[in-house]
Amino acid sequence: MSQAVSNSNNTTPARRNASSRYGDDTDSAIDAQAALVMRKGFLDDVIDGIQLGLLVIVGISVVFIGIFANSLPTIFPATKPFYDAIVSIPGFIMNVPEHAALAMLYFPRSVDELFFLASDLRFWLGEQMHTLPYKECVLVFSWATYLWEAKLDIRQRDRLHEVRRPAAIAPFISRQAYLEANAYGLDKSSLGLVKNVFMQIQTTVIIIYDLTPWLWTIVGDAMDEYLGYGPEYEITRSIAYFLAATYVSTFLSLPFDLYSTFVVEKKHGFNKQTFGLYVSDMVKSLALTALLGGPILAAFLWVIDRTGSQFYLYAWGLMAAVQLLAILIYPTFIQPLFNKFDPLPEGELRNAIEALASRLNFPLKKLYVVDGSKRSSHSNAYVFGFFRSKRIVIYDTLINQCTTEEIVAIVGHELGHWKNNHILRMLTAVQLQTFIVFFAFSCFVGERAMYESFGMHTMPTLVGFIFFQFLYQPLDSLLTFAMNVLSRVHEFDADAFSKKLGYGEQLASGLIKLQIENKSVMNPDPLYSAYHFSHPPLVERLNAINDPNVAPKSN
């Protein structure tokens, strides 16, 4: 009896203590925040309206197609290739036995026959490429990608309106932190939705009204008039075009960028940037685009012009060299233009990191702290450098937010990326991606039908590449998704590495702190995070760290 009383006396304060730590108290400020997160505003009404509208349009279209199916290509010529493809499906299925017999007959039985088949296939593909309705295909691809991503954004937005924490994160994320992260996520989502609509309309206008050839002509005319350079100066004209297009698009997205930095980031306590710093950053990066982008572009165009039909191999090699150079000069020459790198001062943290580095035989050359707090309170740490000369960089914000043990655990995670060759693996994957881009481009660069479809009557390489990029967009989305999957595998791997070093607990608490401090999405939509995130959601990472079967500690 006395035990029961003393128990109940002990649990009450303990529970009260726990509930205030986990934020289950009914604080009025938190309730106000919850009401704000839950509230559906103008944008949500627009989204609901559009979704309802789309549903109606799909319904009407089904009826419309049912009635007018046969005359659809005459009413909307753009639908003809899709109509033809769909109409041919039943015939194809009916003839499967015949096709199978033909396939058996032509099935290559020797290497020679295989080569014949390959050249036939190339010839057939070439024929298709001459007749492809490029502009229509690109418009369909672009809108399909846009609608898919908008659907994901809306699914994610529904998650952000949630005010109840999922059971999996309730024990370590307070209600207040959860609501703050969702409020930040909602503001970013609103800006993103508006920006994406604007960008999609911009792309559509550029494609429909042939604005690429239009700008190309303007640049050419200006060069002719003011410099006396004729159309034979294709590389100079390409650089001028590239700079004009970059500056125009920077200018068009400027309102969104300003709003993001000085309204959204500021409202949620992240922006530390003054307007002066913002302007000087922008001037610096536009100047760098001209100083570095111009010559690099010139080198590519020159190589493509000189190396003929197998230019993709040379362009690929050049790209690898540029990337290698970028990795080499970016931290030493470019980054210091924007940030200050100081050696980490002597002390507990420096000793702990140096001890870890020597325990792992990590060739630590320099250990820096960077003034990330100058722009934003978002925090980070990373490792870079070649061979025997590695550097570790820690954001000053990370030092302010985490304990020494937590920072060491996070550095342990970063060293896991190094030890398990993730950086090299990612670099190889990027090379593969670049090769695919250049090889595919080499198939289209000489395709007059593509240029003419977009309203261009000459065939400059750079303009061809811009058209090709429109065409390549769906494949690019798929490859980006694949890269995200690979990156998430690496993140789990690096977490396991840090855990194996004995930092599992500190890593978990460090990750939770970073998640709260950065107000990262706590409960993302599974489809959204699978498609967009290069890092796994917090809950999945914590589950893996706490799983006794994952990387048990060893010495």
Q: Rounded to 5 degrees, what angle do the CA atoms 185, 156, 504 make?
A: 70
Q: Which is nearer to Zn ion, 413 or 519 (CB)?
A: 413
Where residue 347 falls (left for φ over 0; alpha for ψ -120 to 50; beta otherwise) is: left
225 labelled catalytic? no
Q: Which is nearer to Zn ion, 136 or 491 (CB)?
A: 491
Stretch that binds Zn ion, among 30-38, 321-329, 352-360, 491-499 (CB under 5 A): 491-499
Site string for Zn ion, 441-480 (x = CB under 5 A): ----------------------------------------
Q: Which is nearer to Zn ion, 22 or 382 (CB)?
A: 382
- C-alpha–C-alpha distance, residues 351 and 347, integer Å: 6
Tell me the number of residues near Zn ion by CB under 5 A: 2
Eight-state DSSP code of residue 166: P
Amino acid at 338: F
Stretch that binds Zn ion, among 17-25, 32-40, 111-119, 493-501 (CB under 5 A): 493-501
Q: Which is nearer to Zn ion, 265 or 491 (CB)?
A: 491
Stretch that binds Zn ion, among 223-231, 390-398, 486-494, 525-533 (CB under 5 A): 486-494
- Which phi and psi angles does 110 have, rounded to 5°? -150, 170
Stretch that binds Zn ion, among 69-77, 236-244, 381-389, 487-495 (CB under 5 A): 487-495
Contact 176, 31 (CB under 8 A): no
Find all residues with CB under 8 Å of 210, minimum gap 6, and list them. 454, 455, 456
Residue 306: Cβ within 10 Å count: 9
Site string for Zn ion, 494-513 (x = CB under 5 A): x-------------------
What is the number of residues in the chain? Answer: 555
Q: Which is nearer to Zn ion, 411 or 494 (CB)?
A: 494
Shortest separation between residue 428's beta carbon and Zn ion, angstroms: 18
What is the radius of gyration, based on Cα positions, of the chain? 28
Catalytic residue among 265, 396, 406, 414: 414
Site string for Zn ion, 290-329 (x = CB under 5 A): ----------------------------------------
Shortest separation between residue 417's beta carbon and Zn ion, angstroms: 6
Strand pairing category for 389-395 and 364-370: parallel
- C-alpha–C-alpha distance, residues 430 and 479, integer Å: 10
Q: Which is nearer to Zn ion, 237 or 413 (CB)?
A: 413
Catalytic residue among 265, 396, 406, 495: 495
- Which phi and psi angles does 169 have, rounded to 5°? -110, -10
210 labelled catalytic? no
Shortest separation between residue 68's beta carbon and Zn ion, angstroms: 54
Shortest separation between residue 422's beta carbon and Zn ion, angstroms: 8
Distances (CA, A) of 12 to 16, 18, 21, 27, 345: 6, 10, 14, 19, 46
Q: Which is nearer to Zn ion, 134 or 497 (CB)?
A: 497
- C-alpha–C-alpha distance, residues 353 and 359, integer Å: 10
Shortest separation between residue 427's beta carbon and Zn ion, angstroms: 15
Shortest separation between residue 497's beta carbon and Zn ion, angstroms: 10
> Which contacts of 34-39 are long-range, i.e. CB under 8 A and separated by 24 or more positions?
34/163, 34/175, 34/179, 36/183, 37/160, 37/161, 37/162, 37/163, 37/179, 37/182, 37/183, 37/186, 38/161, 38/163
Shortest separation between residue 494's beta carbon and Zn ion, angstroms: 5
Contact 185, 519 (CB under 8 A): yes
SS3 content of the chain, % helix, strand, coil (to 5): 75, 5, 20
Residues 409-438 that bind Zn ion (CB under 5 A): none
Site string for Zn ion, 60-89 (x = CB under 5 A): ------------------------------
Shortest separation between residue 384's beta carbon and Zn ion, angstroms: 13
* Structure-token pair, residue 473: 């967009």
For residue 498, the Cα-to-chain-centroid distance in whole angstroms is: 26
Q: Which is nearer to Zn ion, 185 or 412 (CB)?
A: 412
Stretch that binds Zn ion, among 70-78, 95-103, 201-209, 484-492 (CB under 5 A): 484-492
Q: Which is nearer to Zn ion, 367 or 494 (CB)?
A: 494
Q: Which of 164, 159, 153 is nearest to 34 (CA)?
A: 164
Q: Which of 345, 346, 344 is nearest to 381 (CA)?
A: 344
Shortest separation between residue 394's beta carbon and Zn ion, angstroms: 14
Stretch that binds Zn ion, among 311-319, 368-376, 450-458, 490-498 (CB under 5 A): 490-498
Active-site positions read 414, 495
Query: Residue numbers of the site for Zn ion (CB under 5 A)?
Result: 491, 494
